[in-house]
């Protein structure tokens, strides 16, 4: 990952760095424009065609346009949507389908905790209802984008960036679901497949760009563990890979913190 | 409610919505109980990154949906080429495009069926 680290602007006094690289953007209009510019490109394109792909399998499963659109709008999480549609097609019971969707989307909870921290909902005293509504629009693409632009966008403008990125992405996703119903007959399968396949590549490369070495390591361990555990654990592999991977990279820090605590305790006992 | 009930699918969609957004709402409530600078917050983030990367690598290794109609022989080299270019150049766009083209070419050369 050495090469990745080199491209980041170093926060030194060197001449070749533009002032804009050093000062975070806080002007709301510029932040919204920046967010919307960031959506256009691989994030928007990948999500649009993922939703086209979803509409294709939803139609095959017997969903109407309204039902497919409602699923994208209300669930807004690809792994859960695909699980729901394919289990429905297989004739699974309601309980099985709902459990599968819940399992596939459990990671949302941790992504939301991370996002609430990144946006600074607590620090800026955003109302609870506003927060609960906002997080509905969170997708993996948006979360990783927030982590990457952190520092380039001023802390107080992160919520504006979130809205400027997540809401257009939501509209693009719903458009993809709608058009997917008809596009699937026109777009050749090889093209659709290739564009859908760029999403995992893109998300993984975005994780590689995150500033925190700890989180990059967590991603690496999780990414290696999940396919190894999958043959044994099936869909549970993601949950287990996440908890084991995350805990593994955190272990040195937990141990160090315990050492400090113990040292403090020992000092406290001495008169 | 039986599967042939006219509202069966709509009930299912509503339940899927609740099964998803309940995690999002728990996330908001949980976030307010964890101090931003704490080790716990770091752990939650580390687990989230590990999970998301797990999900994404599984799309490459065991895909469902439309990508499932391609072989591992197209998907795995595509991921490796993307990673190598990313490490060498740091250019996300070029790395992802090269990966996509690799996938396209290998899927054309070695179709699954």
Judge whether A75 is closer than 8 Å to chain B, CB to CB. Answer: yes
Kindly report the nearest CA distance between residue B77 and chain A, in angstroms: 12
Tokens for A132, please give them: 């609960």
CA nearest B75: which of B103, B47, B50? B103
Q: Are residues A109 and B26, on separate chains, in Cβ contact within 8 Å?
A: yes
Which of A194, A237, A257 to mutate: most B Cβ within 10 Å? A194
Which of A 156-195 lie inside 8 A of B, CB atoms? 189-190, 192-195
Write the DSSP symbol of residue A212: -
Q: Are residues A223 and B42, on separate chains, in Cβ contact within 8 Å?
A: no
* Cβ neighbours for A256, distance < 8 A, ≥ 6 positions apart: none
- State which H helix or E strand residue B60 sits in: helix B39-61
Counting Cα atoms < 13 Å in the Cβ hemisphere of B72 gives 5
Give me the mean pLDDT over the A192-214 stretch. 92
Q: Are residues B43 and A246, on separate chains, in Cβ contact within 8 Å?
A: yes
Neighbours of B39 (CB within 10 A): 15
Question: Which chain A residues are closer than 8 Å to B53 by Cβ?
Answer: 204, 207, 218-220, 222-223, 226, 245
Is residue A13 pLDDT above 60, yes or no?
no
ipTM of the complex: 0.92
Q: Are residues B47 and A207, on separate chains, in Cβ contact within 8 Å?
A: no
Q: Are residues B57 and A223, on separate chains, in Cβ contact within 8 Å?
A: yes
pLDDT in tens, B9-51: 999 999 999 999 999 999 999 999 999 889 999 999 999 999 9
Kindly report the nearest CA distance between residue B76 and chain A, in angstroms: 11
Write the DSSP symbol of residue A187: S
pLDDT in tens, A228-269: 999 999 989 999 999 999 999 999 999 999 999 888 888 766
* Cβ neighbours for B20, distance < 8 A, ≥ 6 positions apart: A74, A75, A76, A77, A80, A101, A102, A105, A108
pLDDT-based confidence at residue A185 (cuts at 50, 70, 90): confident
pTM of the predicted model, to two decimals?
A: 0.86
Q: Where are chain A's structural domains?
A: 25-210, 212-271
Nearest to A193 among B30, B66, B88 (CB): B66
pLDDT in tens, B60-100: 999 988 889 999 999 999 999 999 999 999 898 899 999 99
| Coil vs helix vs strand at A62 | coil
Burial classification of residue B40, based on how many CB atoms lie within 10 Å of its CB (0-12 exposed, 13-18 middle, 19 or more buried): middle
Q: Are residues A194 and B90, on separate chains, in Cβ contact within 8 Å?
A: no
Which of B4, B39, B46 to mutate: most A Cβ within 10 Å? B46
């Amino acid at each position: 990952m050495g090469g990745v680290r080199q491209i980041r602007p170093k926060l030194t006094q060197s001449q070749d760095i533009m002032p804009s690289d050093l000062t975070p953007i806080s002007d709301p209009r510029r932040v919204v424009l920046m967010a919307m510019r960031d959506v256009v490109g691989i994030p928007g394109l990948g999500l649009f065609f993922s939703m086209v792909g979803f509409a294709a399998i939803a139609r095959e499963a017997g969903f109407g346009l309204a039902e497919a659109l409602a699923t994208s709008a209300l669930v807004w999480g690809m792994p859960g949507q695909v699980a729901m549609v394919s289990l429905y097609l297989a004739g699974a019971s309601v309980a099985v389908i709902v459990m599968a969707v819940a399992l596939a989307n459990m990671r949302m909870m941790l992504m939301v905790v991370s996002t609430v921290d990144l946006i600074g909902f607590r620090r800026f005293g955003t109302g609870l209802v506003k927060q609960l509504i906002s997080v509905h629009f969170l997708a993996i693409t948006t979360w990783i984008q927030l982590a990457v632009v952190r520092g380039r966008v001023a802390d107080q403008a992160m919520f504006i960036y979130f809205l400027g990125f997540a809401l257009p992405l939501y509209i693009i996703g719903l458009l993809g679901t709608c058009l997917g119903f008809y596009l699937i007959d026109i777009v050749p399968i090889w093209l659709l497949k290739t564009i859908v396949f760029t999403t995992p590549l893109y998300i993984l490369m975005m994780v590689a760009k995150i500033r925190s070495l700890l989180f990059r390591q967590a991603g690496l361990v999780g990414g290696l563990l999940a396919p190894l555990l999958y043959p044994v654990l099936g869909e549970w592999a993601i949950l287990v890979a996440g908890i084991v991977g995350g805990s593994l990279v955190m272990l040195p820090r937990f141990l160090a913190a315990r050492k400090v605590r113990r040292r403090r305790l020992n000092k406290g006992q001495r008169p | 409610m039986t599967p042939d009930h006219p509202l069966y699918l709509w009930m299912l969609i509503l339940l899927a919505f609740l099964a998803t957004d309940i995690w999002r709402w728990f996330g908001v409530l949980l976030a307010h109980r964890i101090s931003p600078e704490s080790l716990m917050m770091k752990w939650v983030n580390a687990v989230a990154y590990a999970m998301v990367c797990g999900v994404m690598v599984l799309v490459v290794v065991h895909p469902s949906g439309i990508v499932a109609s391609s072989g591992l022989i197209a998907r795995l080299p595509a991921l490796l080429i993307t990673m190598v270019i990313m490490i060498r150049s740091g250019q996300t766009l070029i790395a992802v495009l090269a990966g996509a083209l690799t996938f396209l070419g290998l899927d054309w050369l070695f179709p699954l069926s």
